[in-house]
Amino acid sequence: MDERNLILPGNPRYQPKEMKGFFGYDYLYFGLAQVEIATLETLGEIGVIPAEEMKTLGLKLKEKLLAIPTSQVDKIERKITHHDVRAWVRKAQEIINNDLARWVHIPLTSYDPLDTGRIIQFHSAYQKVLKPSLKETVSLLADLVEKFASQVQIGRTHGQHALPITVGFWLATILQRILYNWKQMEVYSEGLVGKISGAVGAYNAQVGLQLEQRCGSKTFEDRVLEKLGLSPAKISTQILLPEPLAYFLFSCVITSASFGQLGRDCRHLMRTEIAEVMESFEKDQVGSSTMAHKRNPINFENIEGMWLKTKNEFGKVLDTLISEHQRDLVGSCVARDYPIILVNLQQQLNTLTRKNKQGIPFLSRISVDPKACQRNFDTSSNLILSEPLYIALQMAGYQGDAHELVNRTLVPEAKRTNLPLITVLEKLAGKDVYLGETLNKIPEEIQKLFRHPENYIGKAKEKAKEIAFSARQQINS
């Protein structure tokens, strides 16, 4: 096993070990072998393969078939068959080495085990690796949302200071995107189907050679796929219709985007002039090859960068949605790269959950600087209540355009004097009886709010906790 080539598709730099048991190079025929074994078992059950021959298909033989390395199949393909599946069949027959060998791959076409085997790989990789990693990551993010639910932060739109929110609320908006996308991934993973339908998808051999007649109430395809935990496609050609896998892969891609958003936001909030968020800087870590003072957002950059890599991989999936007569080999080599999407997503998750020498995950080591949050908040705190001020004036009966008043008169003066908008308004109201009367109609509680912009956070705290709670529920569902 140590001599196996377990390199994953994609850049050799990004090789999450959790994915190697599914997409490591020498494991690429594992799913195909599962389909071939299930087919042999089904042929035995319906009496096509004699019982005496079926007795040789024991656990040890199955393990040997499942363990056939891609590298060995490659050698046979290049030297002898010039066909990948017939190369695997030849190797399987060599291992079986008795009368059972003649039944390998009957009544299949290449893409019965290839396509179905690929589906097994993707479904298993999601259930056994991605899903547990998503649970861990979501849990850590929910912790951060709860921890900073009350930490006031200036909300930003178009890169400009907008209205007050909380750090927890900002994180919750990203967490909810992750939760939604993860839920879609779950749905589409359960929609993955297999096929045992023959060379053109019409079950020609199964019907014409009377295999179906031996199967009772279930079809031959049903019997094989049931052993593999899959449902059959409603219809297929020589290949599976591409949409179920494409939708699953897209759900993985868009989940990667939501993590990319986290990387993008954190990377900008770590800017020197903002400095509200900070990656941990471990002992012996280096920030620059020449500028020793630097602390670069290397993990946040990687998380966003992996999204860029992933989205471009999905173009390959789109390119293979069509083929001549719904089957040609143009897309065969392209489809071998599909696992890169899951590999890249796992790389993002590993970055977020990677533990330091003290056993603390990266996400738990992210720090938020309350002083920086306050400093940034204060730079425009005298202006950011323009929204409630103009709405309150309008609601109090102001007959003009209150937005124009605030925009054209109050804001320029507040910027010039560095005074709060309410103070500028009060000065103006002292000279304008009508404006003064309108201001007095605004409830006292709301007028107090105008002097405390940090309290104008709406439901930010509550919504943050709501999303964190929703995350806990989804983890445990």
- Note the pLDDT tens digit of each residue in 342-388: 999 999 999 999 999 999 999 999 999 999 999 999 999 999 999 99
Q: What is the pLDDT of residue 1?
A: 46
Same domain, 134 and 104: no
Q: What is the pLDDT of residue 2?
A: 59
Q: Kindly state whether residue 140 falls inside one of the protein's structural domains.
A: yes
CA-closest candidate to residue 382, choices 404, 408, 414, 412: 414
Question: What is the maximum span of the chain, computed from C-alpha positions, in angstroms?
Answer: 106
CA-closest candidate to residue 435, choices 444, 445, 448, 422: 422
Q: Cα(36)–Cα(180) distance, rounded to whole angstroms?
A: 36
- For 226, the token pair is 């049931």
Q: Kindly state whether residue 279 falls inside one of the protein's structural domains.
A: yes
Angle at 320 between CA 74 and CA 227, to 5 degrees: 65
Same domain, 263 and 354: yes
Q: Cα(327)–Cα(321) distance, rounded to whole angstroms?
A: 10
CA-closest candidate to residue 141, choices 349, 310, 332: 349
Which CATH number do you get for residue 309?
1.20.200.10
Which CATH number do you get for residue 26?
1.10.275.10
- For 422, the token pair is 């309410």
Which amino acid, one-letter code, is at 126? Y
Q: What is the pLDDT of residue 287?
A: 81
Q: What is the pLDDT of residue 464?
A: 98
Structural domain of residue 402, as residue ranges? Answer: 385-455
Contact 99, 43 (CB under 8 A): no
Same domain, 143 and 86: no
Q: Kindly state whether residue 212 falls inside one of the protein's structural domains.
A: no
Angle at 468 between CA 474 and CA 146, to 5 degrees: 150
Tell whether omega for the bond before 388 is within 30 degrees of 0, i.e. cis.
no
Q: Which of 372, 397, 427 is the last residue of a domain?
A: 372
Q: Would you give the distance in Å from CA 150 to the centre of its chain?
A: 28
What are the Cα distances from residue 40, in Å, to 59, 65, 162, 202? 13, 12, 66, 20
Q: What is the pLDDT of residue 281?
A: 84
Helix runs in 229-273, H state only: 243-269
Same domain, 253 and 153: yes
Q: Kindly state whether residue 8 falls inside one of the protein's structural domains.
A: no
Q: Kindly state whether residue 317 falls inside one of the protein's structural domains.
A: yes
Q: Name, in order, each residue with C-beta under 8 angstroms of 347's C-beta and a sequence gap of 6 or more.
A: 14, 16, 302, 306
What are the Cα distances from residue 21, in Å, to 29, 31, 227, 331? 11, 11, 21, 24
| pTM summary value | 0.95
Rg value, the chain, Cα: 31
pLDDT below 50 — which residues of the chain? 1
Same domain, 101 and 127: no
Q: Which of 53, 81, 108 is the last residue of a domain?
A: 108
Same domain, 38 and 164: no
Q: Which of 67, 86, 108 is the last residue of a domain?
A: 108
Q: Cα(395)–Cα(443) distance, rounded to whole angstroms?
A: 11
Q: Cα(327)–Cα(213) distance, rounded to whole angstroms?
A: 29
Same domain, 289 and 330: yes
- Note the pLDDT tens digit of each residue in 254-292: 999 999 999 999 999 999 999 999 998 887 788 878 888
Q: Kindly state whether residue 176 falls inside one of the protein's structural domains.
A: yes
Same domain, 127 and 66: no
Q: Cα(233)–Cα(194) distance, rounded to whole angstroms?
A: 6
Same domain, 83 and 146: no
Same domain, 77 and 155: no
- For 237, the token pair is 């050609």
Same domain, 350 and 451: no
Tell whether omega for the bond before 242 is within 30 degrees of 0, i.e. cis.
no
Q: Cα(396)–Cα(225) distance, rounded to whole angstroms?
A: 69
Dihedral of the alpha carbons of 424, 428, 429, 430, in degrees to the nearest 10: 110
CA-closest candidate to residue 345, choices 380, 313, 390, 382: 313
Which amino acid, one-letter code, is at 23? F
Same domain, 93 and 171: no
Domain count, the chain: 3
Q: What is the pLDDT of residue 150?
A: 98
* Residue listed under structure tokens 């004036």: 393
Q: Kindly state whether residue 2 falls inside one of the protein's structural domains.
A: no
Q: Kindly state whether residue 337 falls inside one of the protein's structural domains.
A: yes
